[in-house]
Amino acid sequence: MRHPTLVSLLAILATASARADSSTDAVAASFANVLTPEAKHDAKQKAPALSLIFNDVVSGEYLEWVELYALASLPHQTRTSQPVVGTSTGGSSAWIAADFAIVKSCAPITDDATGDASYYQPDHCKREDPKAWMRGAAVLERAGKRWRPVAVHVLGRFGKATADVPAAKLDGSVGKGAEDAVKLVGAALADPKALAAAIADRPDVVMFGSDKGERYVTGAKVKATLARWGLAFAITDQQAGITAAGDVAWVAANVTATKAGAKPSTYRVLVACAKLDKGWQIVQLSFARTVAAKP
């Protein structure tokens, strides 16, 4: 993978939701809601278990998370595009990978009291980044008549906002029922051949590399790409969980990638695993470039 200037956001959420049915649109709408600060959220839902923002840890309620990340203040609007959605055998869990189409927004920002836009407008437009991009991956579960994201990874590029500090350490917790998936992911990441073999042979398998051009869809393409990369990933720390139905698990990890003759590189990855006919298999991976911690 190449190493562009990136922003990595990993948020383990239990808030934003959308009405659930079996359609791709319902899952995509719930995912899109994560990046819509203006959306109405159910106050009865649990607060996020963890939010990792610019590789830092931020705790608090969902709206506090949005404010701290200041996503609403970015000079861009977003909408999901090219969503790929997979659902578990029982239909109670899902995973999604999608690009967020960035809509340029350089409309005047005015002072609420005076209506004057002269102070805000130059800085607002100056922060526009023609190379900006964003995409994300998530695991969701049914919550009554709704879909609820439980693990979300958003990565992209926003000008000078970079992953310029080491990724915050993950707490090592593993949700009950996710143990076998964690073992699979750990063994697979350590061995390029094992990683390719662990990928499910499904059309809804997606892998995002850390570069904008690294978007691979279908199990066959993901397997071939991993074989071509030939990277072994050593896990530094991790955190894992599982959906309420127990049929889709996620593993978030900070990893170091190595390959003979190449300089080691560090990433944050979210891996989604589904319990299929052959047991646990990987159905989704998303990598974001990070900066290695100093020894």
Q: How far apart are CA 202 and CA 197, in angstroms?
A: 13
Total number of domains constituting the chain: 1
| 38 contact partners, CB below 8 Å, separation of at least 6 | 72
Helix (H) / strand (E) element for 209: namely none
Does pLDDT of 175 surpass 60?
yes
Does pLDDT of 199 surpass 60?
yes
First to last CA, the chain: 24
* 23, amino acid identity: S
More confident residue, 235 or 81: 235
Strands 76-87 and 146-157: unpaired
Could you report the per-residue pLDDT of 200-217, keeping only the tens digit for each? Answer: 999 999 999 988 899 999
pTM assigned to the model: 0.79
**What residue numbers bound the domain in which 245 lies?**
7-289
pLDDT of 134? 78
1 domain residue, yes or no: no
Strands 206-208 and 76-87: unpaired
91 domain residue, yes or no: yes
167 domain residue, yes or no: yes
295 domain residue, yes or no: no
Q: How many CB atoms lie within 10 A of CB 121?
A: 15
pLDDT of 239? 93
Q: How far apart are CA 98 and CA 215, in angstroms?
A: 10
160 domain residue, yes or no: yes
Q: What is the mean pLDDT of residues 168-188?
A: 94
Cα dihedral across residues 229, 96, 155, 253: positive or negative: negative
277 domain residue, yes or no: yes
Q: CA gyration radius for the chain?
A: 19
pLDDT of 216? 98
Cα 5 to Cα 98, 123, 142, 197, distances in angstroms = 20, 21, 35, 31
pLDDT bracket for residue 240 (50, 70, 90): very high
Q: How far apart are CA 234 and CA 191, in angstroms?
A: 9
143 domain residue, yes or no: yes
The strand pairing partners of 280, in sequence order, are 275
pLDDT of 148? 82
Could you report the per-residue pLDDT of 93-108, keeping only the tens digit for each? Answer: 999 999 877 655 555 5
With a pLDDT cut of 90, the percent of the chain lying above it is 42
Q: CA angle 65-68-69, nearest 5°?
A: 85
Q: How far apart are CA 281 and CA 214, in angstroms?
A: 21
294 domain residue, yes or no: no
Q: How many CB atoms lie within 10 A of CB 108?
A: 12
CATH number for the domain spanning 136: value is 3.10.450.50
Does pLDDT of 76 surpass 90?
no
Of 15-29, 123-137, 170-184, 267-281, the one with minimum mean pLDDT is 15-29
Q: What is the mean pLDDT of residues 119-125?
A: 50
Q: How far apart are CA 205 and CA 278, in angstroms?
A: 15
pLDDT of 99? 87
Could you report the per-residue pLDDT of 125-142, keeping only the tens digit for each? Answer: 555 556 677 788 889 898
Beta carbons of 100 and 255 less than 8 angstroms apart: no
Q: How far apart are CA 55 and CA 228, in angstroms?
A: 28
Beta carbons of 61 and 50 less than 8 angstroms apart: no
pLDDT of 67? 36
pLDDT of 106? 55
Q: What is the mean pLDDT of residues 53-73?
A: 39
Q: How far apart are CA 273 and CA 276, in angstroms?
A: 9
- What the block records as the tokens of 153 is 């990874």
For the chain, give the mean pLDDT: 75
Of 1-10, 76-85, 262-271, 283-292, the one with minimum mean pLDDT is 1-10
pLDDT of 105? 54
User: What DSSP letter does each residue of 169-188 carry, written as one string?
Assistant: PP---B-TT-HHHHHHHHHH
Strands 133-143 and 146-157: antiparallel
Could you report the per-residue pLDDT of 14-53, keeping only the tens digit for each? Answer: 333 343 445 578 888 777 666 554 444 444 444 444 444 4
pLDDT of 135? 83
